Amino acid sequence: MDYKKVLTVQDISCYGQCSLTVALPILSAAGLETCILPSAVLSTHTAGFSGYTFRDLTDDIPAITKHWQKENIRFDAIYTGYLGSTQQIAYVMDMMKNLRKKEFVSFVDPAMADNGRLYPAFDAAFVEEMKKLAFSADIILPNITEACFLTGSKYEEKYDAAYIDELLGRLRAEGAGTIILTGVSFSDTTTGVMVLDGDNKSYYEHRKIPKGSHGTGDVYASAFVGAYLRGSSAYESAGIAAEYTVRCIENTIDDPEHWYGVKFEPVLPYLIERLK
């Protein structure tokens, strides 16, 4: 296996098991040289904590990029998670043009919405800029809400296969490459991931855990990127990432004091074994 170099751009929540504190160890466990570009530094994540500190690093990004260009640093892949502003999206698009190797893959997790609503920090202008990034990427990993915002579709809590097919079609019509649509559930006991890779559509179904956990989207996306860059297909990567994420939740669900994230670290041996 080639020793690939991946850059991930997202924030650092120093406490709380999400964003870069999830992406860095998972991608490293996948055997990838993992480089990071923090978009912001927070003392904790924003779900359930109050009074957290926040340092916006947007103004540092151009100088970092310029230095990397000067040193001829290039990446096999760039993977983005939560980006805090339209300016950061523009900087990332510039990096994807100027810091890529000849063989290159871009992954965009358009982390901006869930449960039918945008996150509080975002507005319609942010969505428009995210469309440019998402539809220029090789692989996107939206949930259903994000897919609706990206395509101007009506969000439905209850849906059927035809609704999902229409959503995939709209994403493809807008220019999406490979689509990994997460959180697709057709029953009360299962959920899954719909994969559209070229003309091939496939669905990976797995058990549903009723209790949600913060940071699992970052766990999933990072595991997917790791599996894909290790040589698994999009469908195989979707399945590996899903099973790993489920096991991380199961490893945490009985611990009421660990409400702020999932205990993903003890489950890394499972991921490593799956990636062999």
What is the band of 107 on the pLDDT scale with cuts at 50, 70, 90?
very high
For residue 66, pLDDT beyond 80: yes
CA 274 to chain centre: 20
What is the band of 95 on the pLDDT scale with cuts at 50, 70, 90?
very high
Of 47 and 162, which is predicted with more confidence?
Answer: 162
Provide the pLDDT for residue 164: 98
What is the band of 210 on the pLDDT scale with cuts at 50, 70, 90?
confident
What is the band of 241 on the pLDDT scale with cuts at 50, 70, 90?
very high
Q: Exposed (0-12), middle (13-18) or buried (19+): which is 203, by Cβ within 10 Å?
A: middle
What is the band of 2 on the pLDDT scale with cuts at 50, 70, 90?
confident
Provide the pLDDT for residue 233: 98
Determine how β-strand 33-44 pairs with β-strand 54-56. antiparallel
Question: Whole-number mean pLDDT of the chain?
Answer: 96
C-alpha separations of 14 from 38, 41, 181, 241 in Å: 11, 7, 28, 24
Average pLDDT over residues 63-85: 97
What is the band of 39 on the pLDDT scale with cuts at 50, 70, 90?
very high
Determine how β-strand 117-118 pairs with β-strand 100-108. unpaired
Q: What's the pTM?
A: 0.96
Average pLDDT over residues 63-89: 97
**What are 49-64's pLDDT values in tens digits?**
999 999 999 999 999 9
**What are 246-260's pLDDT values in tens digits?**
999 999 999 999 999
Provide the pLDDT for residue 1: 62
213 contacts 252 by C-beta, under 8 angstroms:
yes
What phi, psi does 27 have (nearest 5°)?
Answer: -65, -35
Domain 5-275 in CATH 3.40.50.1950:
no
What is the band of 25 on the pLDDT scale with cuts at 50, 70, 90?
very high
For residue 34, pLDDT beyond 80: yes
Q: For the beta carbon of residue 270, count every other beta carbon within 10 angstroms.
A: 15
Q: Range with the lowest mean pLDDT among 32-36, 142-146, 185-189? A: 185-189
C-alpha separations of 79 from 8, 167, 236, 237, 273 in Å: 5, 23, 18, 15, 23
